[in-house]
Each structure stands twice: as C-alpha cells, then as structure tokens.
Structure 1
C-alpha cells in the first residue's frame, strides 16, 4: 500500500516547519508528502525549498490563489495529485508523533476511514513549542487539553477501533481515507467555503456510501498547535443539512474538477535541490 500525506497550509510557515520535520522522522515514512496551499505568501515556498534539500521522501507543493478560505478545493487538489492508495490528511498545525504514520497504515481497512485524535495546546504552550522547535511533548506538559492523547498504548488502540457510524468528533486535521473511496464520493464539497463542517459533510456522504469509521485512539498521536477560534460559515450548516436530508453520496462540485490537472504527477521539490 502506497501512502500519501496531504497537509493543508495557509500563511503559517513556522508551524508548517514543525509539521514537515515531524513527518520526516517517522518510524515508517509516507511515500510522499503533499503540501496543498490555500494562497500563502512566498515565505512558505521558501521554507519548502529549504526543507527539500534533505527531505527523506517525495515532497510536493501545490498552491492556489488566495481567494478566501477554500479548504475544500485545496484538499481536493491534494487528493487529485496524490499517487498513494491511501491518504492521511493533516492540518498545517498538526505535529505528528513519530509512530503516527505507521499506525495509520496499520489501521487502514477496506470499507472504513480512520478518525485520528489530537492533543490541544494552549496559546502559551504553542508559543513555547514553536520557539523551541519541539516535536514532542509528554503527559505532564503544562497547559494542554486532552492529555490522554499523549499516551501511546497499542493494545488499547485496538480495543477502540471497532467500526461505527457516528458523526461525533469528526475532524479532518488527522484523518485517513482510501483514495478510491474519496474518488467515489467526489472528495470535499467545494460549495463549502469559509471555516467549518466540510469534514462532517464529507463523512456524511461516506456513511451514505456504506463506509464505516474506525477511531485511532492511544495511537496515531498528534499535537494540535493553538490558533485563534474561527467563525463558522453559517451557509455550511445548510449544505450539511441538505446532504443528511437527501442521503447524498456525491457532491456536485468536488474532486472530479481536478483529476485531469494531475494526470501527470506534480514535480517533486527534491528534484530542484541541486
């Protein structure tokens, strides 16, 4: 199984640096890391070119113009460009523990997607982690929430992984999907712009298509850096309600609008390092 990681980012290269360095030190490396960029300034591209000099796996940068928050479109471009059979999604402020990719790979099952978990940091903790460029925190780290998600306990992880179909706790910041399942449901709904509900709406269509969910707890660990609370785009609630009411499997404006663009794989940034 080839595994692609798709990381979405927007104008926070300091956080992205930690995210990408954490992925580079995984016990099992992904086959590629695709950074899909919702219109960042040039300093993000500069960071990526610097990291590419000695990055241990294929590294891709996809950029789209800044035209408001278009996370669904950015993620769909990442899916379309991915060469892997399986895709793990991270936000550009999610710092993965070093076994995270190995455990996502181990937990992948046909007919299911995997919902990962996260440790939440306070503003003070996040500032400290960024300043020290730290990739790890422990159970006793001050000023964190969901402290239990610092604990890696493989036996408990297996016990939590029974398939189910709940919307509770859906979040795309740490998510694993088979790529062909995403193609079948047409990826993220690009009618949903601004912040919020695009992950719930995709999960609803996945359930309507017959998929189930496995939770990755006490494994697949990741640290979520603090950021300001965002305002929900209220129109997205209506789109989610429509998907639920109509039992939709595919969205109208989604992944299929980008597949032709990436029939040929985008360049590996490492190819330009010499």
Structure 2
C-alpha cells in the first residue's frame, strides 16, 4: 500500500466518526488506517468496527490502557504496527478534504517531510457538520461555512481549490515548516532513525520536537498547509498546564542546542 495513515484519538467517538467518513471518500484508496488510541473506552472500538467495510485495507486499532496523556507512546506503538514505508499523521478531530491523502502522496520526496496545517472551526459548526456534509464535501465550501455562521476572515483562503493559488500561498506564508501532528507525513525509516516520538513529552510541542530531530538528522521539509486541507473540530484541552509546557520547552531547547537526533525514551524503549 502507498501510505499508512496514523490517527490519534481519545474518547471522542463522534469526532472520530466524522474523520473516518472523510477518509472513506478520498480520491485515492490504497492506504491503511492505523488508529492510535490512548486508552479510550469500548465506544471507540465500536465506531472503528462500524467502518470495517469502508476501506480497501483493514483498519488497525492500536490501544493501550488509559494512564493519563501518553500520546507519544501510543503513536510509537502505531508506527510499529503500520505496514507502509510512508506514514501520514493526523488527529481524530481533523476531517480531511477528499484530496488530502492524494496531496501528501503527490508531494512526498526522499530527504523531506511534509508540513500541513488545519482550518479551525468553532464548536457550533463542528457539531453542525453531518455525515452528508462530509460525503458531498459541503463543509469544505466557504459559502456553506458562512451560511452556518462562520465569520469572514483571511484564514478562509486556506480552503482554496486553486492549485496555483495554494502553491503560491505555500511559498508566501511565514509559518514555519514544522512537523504538525494533525497534518504531516514522512518516510518510516526517517522516523525510526530518530527513535520516534519522545516519551518524556506530554501535551504541548511533542510533534514539533520530533520534527526538530528530523532536521538534526539532515531532513528538509515542504510546506503544504494550503494544499492538504483538513477541518479541525473544536474540543476542550484539559490536559494542558504551564508546568508541562515549561518541561517540554526545556527538552526542545536542549535537543536543539545539542543537535540531538535519537532520543533514549522512544520506540526502542517500548
């Protein structure tokens, strides 16, 4: 298969259902979905099972017991269970546009990882999106979003369908080409070379830290934030704190200063 898509989730069944509907109507179908489940209840498994016949390849459900925020560990377990040599990472609250996977595959290149973004929605629109809206792609139309109460802003340019304009904006944007867990992809061998995600990292910057070690490995990155489009559904963030951010920032600063490539507490320590 061309790519394994690793989707993180934790007790967000309705959001995951919408995301899986989005992947069920992709313009390419030769991909594997791997659910990195950080300890959800059986309700999440029920959602996954209900999609078992919707994809060309079986969905792989990677789960461990709930022990607080352990996203790095479940991502590393999912990497080990993936079957493709190319990995696309996203979250269980990001609905992909129908060309999402195709854009990643068209832009993949040895020596690079791809850096995408998302279009963030307020809660009332996140809840308003129906299965039909995803199947017919209405929710990716600016007119539909405005009709449902979204305020007009420059950020709406992210939803462009023009490849020429998207390419220009990818070049123009000052946003860094970082590894973003909701929308990034790279070769499995490169991720294994840096020992995957850092188990010392909790919420806040763990994805960026992986990308920084990939840079230390010698990789470059490509900006695709205006090409690979996904809608971010709103949710609470009860797992964030200033103390955790301070710890994570200190780890990132150390690894940057010392050009760390392979961390100790990663895939090899599972």
Aligned residue pairs total 255
Q: What is the CA distance between 1:50 and its match in structure 2? A: 1.6
TM-score by length of 2: 0.87
Does the residue aligned with 1:62 lie in a helix, a strand or coil?
A: strand
Q: Which runs of 4+ in 1 moved over 4 A?
A: 159-162, 165-170
Name 2:9's counterpart in structure 1.
9
Q: CA 1:152 to 1:117, structure 2 compared with 1: closer, same or farther past 3 Å? A: farther
Q: CA 1:49 to 1:229, structure 2 compared with 1: closer, same or farther past 3 Å? A: closer
Gaps of 5+ in 2: none
Q: What is the CA distance between 1:65 and its match in structure 2? A: 0.7
Indicate yes or no: 2:142 matched with 1:139.
yes
Give the Cα separation in 1 of the matches to 2:177 and 2:111. Answer: 19
Does the residue aligned with 1:58 lie in a helix, a strand or coil?
A: coil
Question: Superposition pairs for residues 1-274 of structure 1, below 5 Å?
Answer: 2-129=2-129, 134-135=133-134, 136=137, 137=139, 138-140=141-143, 141=145, 142-143=149-150, 146-159=155-168, 167=176, 170-193=179-202, 195-230=203-238, 231-232=240-241, 233=244, 234-258=246-270
* C-alpha contact (below 8 Å) 2:178/2:221 kept by paired residues: no
Q: What is the CA distance between 1:53 and its match in structure 2? A: 3.5
TM-score by length of 1: 0.86
Gaps of 5+ in 1: 259-274
* C-alpha contact (below 8 Å) 2:167/2:227 kept by paired residues: no
Give the Cα separation in 2 of the matches to 1:97 and 1:111. Answer: 26
Give the Cα separation in 2 of the matches to 1:126 and 1:236. Answer: 30
Name 1:266's counterpart in structure 2.
none
Q: What is the CA distance between 1:103 and its match in structure 2? A: 0.7
